Amino acid sequence: MIISMNKKYSYKKAILLAFVLSVVGDFLASFTIVYGSALSDNIVFKIALQIFCIIVFASLIYSIIWTEGERDINRIAIGSTTKDPWRGVKIGCIIMIPYMLTSVFLVLAKLDMIKHGDVIYRLLNAHLLILVNAVLPYLGTNLVSMTGINIASQLTGISNIPLQWWQIVVVTLYHLIIPVICGTAYICGFKRINITHFFIYNQKSKKKKN
């Protein structure tokens, strides 16, 4: 097993729930980016939009793993689990696997085995769409777009730009953000560090000083 767990407690439900919420986050990101992109083509706006989508995606996973970290304090105390500071990272690696596997569509597109493999990849990884667009060419156009989104252009035409192996590797490595999110969430939960309360407390403190 990747995660050391005894017979008394299993993290399978938490992993499944975190993955389901990550899919929800990806779905919300797809709407946010598509509709947000229609508002402006400004690069700064696109970057802000991408950061917002990552925050939405991360927050849904973060809350679940943070709770697991916080609950592990009592589980360790009663002997129902063992202490493992890397547990969050390990959980994140499991959640990351389905997203890493979506790169298969890019590999198949590179080998000319399927058409529009990049479109499928983009749809399945909408929370990173603008970052993906910065690396991958649209296989349905003759333009590499750093920030733009044009669903129609992705679905039609034949590419004159070959997909490179290094591009596939780079966008696949993007998914390492998931273990980072989960690892951070677990440690914060285990140490009972609540980032949300921290920001709220700071805002209240500033208002009182003013």
Q: Which of 41-45, 101-105, 200-204 shows the highest mean pLDDT? A: 101-105
Q: How confident is the model at residue 43 (pLDDT cuts 50, 70, 90)?
A: confident
Q: Tokens 């929800």 — which residue? A: 24
Chain center to CA of 191: 24
pLDDT number for residue 79: 86
pLDDT band per the 50, 70, 90 thresholds, residue 196 = low
The answer for residues whose C-beta is within 8 angstroms of residue 84's C-beta and 6 or more apart is: 3, 4, 90
- Give the burial class of 198: count Cβ atoms within 10 A of its Cβ; 0-12 exposed, 13-18 middle, 19 or more buried: exposed
This prediction's pTM? 0.79
153-180, pLDDT tens digit by residue? 433 333 446 788 999 999 999 999 999 9
Q: Is 35 exposed, middle or buried (0-12, 13-18, 19+ CB in 10 A)?
A: exposed
3-state SS class at 183? helix
For 56-105, the pLDDT digits (tens) are 999 999 999 999 999 999 999 888 889 999 999 999 999 999 999 999 99
